[in-house]
């Protein structure tokens, strides 16, 4: 019964604006499972029996078109949930990007727990609402933003999921990033190089990025107008 007046169905729950909207541990045992990099938690169209919460590592959620094109819908970081809110069958594929540890629950157990706990229900509905809002933000990104804006947005988003807000690790490959941003690997690579030339970032290695001018990057990501960054116009 704890906190049962917080939020409601129509969206009263405050949309967490802060870093990594972690979903605190569910009040159920759940079982821990470990996945190797590249291993699938579940596949698109498979009967949906479990719900997962990431404990360690990074997971990617993707959908494949019949001809092999792939779209990555979301990267999950610790605290994020997977497998929630779909039909009898999973509607997407979840795979580990890095070695990962997840907790899993049988859906039926979770459903039963939700029946009995208004607090749990509110947290689940708030979570789903945040997921929908995140999806909407990404629709704007994919529908109306340039490659430069997409990459900048991605870096800014990543920064909010890491310890250090300026030294980022990019555990995913360029192909993963491309499929997430609706670009090709070449365009992602070229855009990162461009940001480096402009002094916005440094690239110590292919899987590390240092944000040198985070504010300018955020301006790029937020919209087309990046007036606050005069750009030294490096070669």
Partner DNA sequence: CGATAATTTGATTTTTCTCAAGACGCGTGG
Partner DNA sequence: CCACGCGTCTTGAGAAAAATCAAATTATCG
Note whether 99 binds DNA by CB under 7 A. no
State the nearest-atom distance from the C-beta of 6 to DNA, in Å. 41
The sign of the torsion formed by the CA atoms of 105, 111, 116, 117 equals positive
What separation in angstroms does the CA of 68 have from each of 65, 166, 177, 179, 185? 5, 35, 16, 12, 16
Residue 186 lies near DNA (rule: CB under 7 A): yes
Q: Which is nearer to a copy of itself, 67 or 163 (CB)?
A: 67
Question: Given the rule CB under 8 A, which residues bind a copy of itself?
Answer: 4, 8-15, 48, 51, 63, 65-67, 69-71, 73, 83-88, 91-92, 107-108, 110-112, 114-115, 118, 120-121, 124-125, 128-129, 131-133, 135-136, 138-140, 142-145, 179-182, 222-225
The token pair at 126 is 């708030």
Using DSSP, state whether 115 is helix, strand or coil.
helix
Would you say 182 or 214 has its CB closer to DNA?
A: 182
What is the dihedral sign for C-alpha 126, 154, 145, 189?
negative
Residue 92 Cβ vs a copy of itself, minimum distance, rounded to whole Å: 7
Using the contact rule CB under 7 A, the part of the chain among 8-16, 84-92, 123-131, 182-190 near DNA is: 182-190
Query: In angstroms, what is the minimal distance from the CB of 221 to DNA?
Result: 14
Is residue 100 near DNA by the rule CB under 7 A?
no
Question: Pick from a copy of itself, DNA, none: which does 118 bind, CB < 5 to 8 A by kind?
Answer: a copy of itself
Q: How many residues does the chain have?
A: 235
Pair 153, 221: CB distance under 8 Å: yes
- Contact between 146 and DNA per CB under 7 A: yes
How far apart CA 235 and CA 232 sit, in angstroms, is 9
Two tokens, residue 66 = 């019949």
């Amino acid at each position: 019964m704890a906190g049962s007046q917080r939020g409601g169905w129509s969206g009263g729950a405050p949309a967490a604006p802060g870093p990594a909207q972690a979903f605190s541990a569910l009040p159920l045992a759940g079982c821990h499972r470990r996945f190797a990099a590249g291993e699938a938690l579940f596949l698109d169209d498979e009967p949906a029996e479990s719900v997962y919460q990431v404990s360690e590592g990074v997971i990617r959620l993707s959908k494949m078109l019949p001809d092999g094109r792939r779209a990555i819908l979301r990267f999950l970081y610790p605290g994020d949930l997977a497998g929630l809110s779909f039909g009898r069958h999973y509607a997407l594929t979840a795979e580990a990007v890095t070695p990962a540890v997840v907790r899993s629950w049988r859906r039926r157990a979770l459903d039963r727990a939700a029946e009995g706990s208004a607090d749990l229900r509110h947290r689940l509905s708030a979570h789903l609402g945040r997921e929908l809002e995140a999806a909407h933000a990404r629709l704007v990104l994919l529908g109306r933003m340039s490659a430069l804006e997409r990459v900048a947005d991605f870096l800014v988003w990543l920064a909010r999921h890491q310890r250090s807000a300026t030294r980022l690790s990019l555990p995913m490959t360029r192909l993963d990033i491309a499929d997430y941003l609706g670009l090709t690997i070449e365009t992602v690579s070229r855009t990162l190089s461009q940001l480096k030339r402009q002094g916005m970032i440094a690239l110590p290695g292919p899987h590390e990025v240092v944000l040198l001018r985070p504010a300018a990057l955020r301006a790029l990501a937020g919209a087309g107008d990046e007036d606050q960054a005069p750009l030294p116009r490096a070669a």
